[in-house]
Amino acid sequence: MEIHNFSAGPCILPAEVMQKAAAAVLDLDGIGLSLIEISHRSKEFVAVMDKARELALELLGLEGKGYQALYLQGGASLQFPMLAYNLLENKAGYLNTGTWSSNALKEASILGNAIELASSEEKGFNYIPKDFDIPNDLDYLHLTSNNTIFGTQIKSFPTTKVPVVCDMSSDIFSRQLDFSKFDLIYAGAQKNMGPAGTTLIIVKEDLLGKVTRKIPSILDYQVHIAKESMFNTPAVFPVYVCMLTLQWLKDMGGIPAIEEINEKKAKLIYSEIDLNPLFQGYANKEDRSTMNATFTLTDDTLKDTFDAMWKKAGINGLNGHRSVGGYRASMYNALSLESVGVLVDVMSDLERKA
């Protein structure tokens, strides 16, 4: 039976990427060696890293604009303190839109003066605060573009003169944005790019080198840039899979092409949530994420029936995050419109039966 993988992360990857990745584990491009048993300094792997870095900048439209792409370890969570190490001198401002931004703020606060500019915590993070003040003397403004757990997404980014840092872990490469408005973007690979184990960092070089503190080498973006993302052994397999996924995206027409499909998927599920009286959306309508749709049943006694129905339809990974409950349909780039159609059919079947 076909499985429809709505998992929030690690999550679905394109089938052809999985096939190519599996083949490279056995024999990389016919060299008679596995991708994971060759030196990361070999010409074969250096070419992989170079390509993965180049594709990221190309797809975001940032080639030749003073940006560098890095693939580092430690997950998006390591970036919370690392970005503060590199950028926080006097004061940083954080928009608190969920668990991940709270964590980012907490870690930066250990190093310096990181303040919360606005928060939606009082409403269970079900919306994106707008019209908040951004002081002009911030070292940077920190945003989380998509709140994976609560299902909200920033649709319109604040205009400001201060550098903008953005955690795009769960919606990078999913929609067109003017990425040159951001000074640092980071994203754990395991939501829209590849397996867990590497994190993409896109950083504008002129943002760096301004803090007075000493930075441990492994936490210093400038060291990683100088070493072309090979300061220490990179996560070779995750980087390889990211390269394949980005090539897959480029071949299908890049971000504009995937955005069109992502919008269709989001429209399909949210119209079912709104029309079907048995379901209720969690996030404020105008802030709804195209990547993670969060919803609950209006009648909890239907839970066992609904759960049995979607499992029988081959749907996987639909349970909501433990802090929110209910359901979460994660619809990353590799999830097809057909899979969302299968879920929507189950939801309308439930209405017919109830």
Ligand X SMILES: *Cc1c(COP(=O)(O)O)cnc(C)c1O
How far from 350 is each of 21, 102, 276, 328, CA to CA, in Å? 38, 37, 9, 17
| First and final C-alpha spacing in the chain | 26
Nearest approach, Cβ of 207 to ligand X (angstroms)? 20
Q: Does the footprint of ligand X cover residue 68 (CB under 6 A)?
A: no
CA distance 205 to 225: 9
CA distance 279 to 298: 5
Q: Does the footprint of ligand X cover residue 326 (CB under 6 A)?
A: no
Q: Please indicate whether residue 167 is annotated as part of the active site.
A: yes
- The stretch near ligand X (CB under 6 A) out of 165-173, 263-271, 317-325, 340-348 is 165-173
What count of other Cβ atoms lies within 10 Å of the Cβ of residue 64? 7
188 vs 344 by CB, closer to ligand X = 188
Q: Does the footprint of ligand X cover residue 9 (CB under 6 A)?
A: yes
How far from 310 is each of 103, 238, 251, 350, CA to CA, in Å? 33, 31, 32, 10
120 vs 347 by CB, closer to ligand X = 120
53 vs 328 by CB, closer to ligand X = 328
186 and 201 Cβ atoms separated by less than 8 Å: yes
One residue of 142, 191, 265, 288 binding ligand X per CB under 6 A = 191
Q: Does the footprint of ligand X cover residue 167 (CB under 6 A)?
A: yes
One residue of 17, 52, 62, 76 binding ligand X per CB under 6 A = 76
Nearest approach, Cβ of 148 to ligand X (angstroms)? 3
Buried b / exposed e along 20-50 (16+ C-beta atoms within 10 A): bbeebeeebeeeeeebeebebeeeebeebbe
Residue at shortest CB range from ligand X: 75
Residue 56, classed as helix, strand or coil, is helix
Q: Does the footprint of ligand X cover residue 10 (CB under 6 A)?
A: no
Q: Kindly state the number of chain residues that form the binding site for ligand X, as judged by CB under 6 A.
A: 12
One residue of 7, 42, 77, 160 binding ligand X per CB under 6 A = 77
The dihedral built from the CA positions of residue 290, 318, 17 and 183, taken in this order, carries a sign that is positive
Could you say which of 171, 183, 191, 204 is catalytic?
191
Q: Please indicate whether residue 303 is annotated as part of the active site.
A: no
CA distance 280 to 79: 34
Nearest approach, Cβ of 224 to ligand X (angstroms)? 17
245 vs 344 by CB, closer to ligand X = 245
- The stretch near ligand X (CB under 6 A) out of 75-83, 177-185, 214-222, 304-312 is 75-83
Nearest approach, Cβ of 232 to ligand X (angstroms)? 18
173 and 150 Cβ atoms separated by less than 8 Å: no
| Helix axes of 99-111 and 75-87: crossing angle, nearest 10 degrees | 40
Q: Which residues, in sequence order, are CB contacts of 265 under 8 Å at separation 6+?
A: 290, 331, 335, 337, 340
Q: Does the footprint of ligand X cover residue 126 (CB under 6 A)?
A: no
Q: Does the footprint of ligand X cover residue 169 (CB under 6 A)?
A: yes
* Sites of contact with ligand X (CB under 6 A): 9, 75-77, 100, 144, 148, 167, 169-170, 188, 191
Q: Write out the catalytic residue numbers.
A: 100, 167, 191
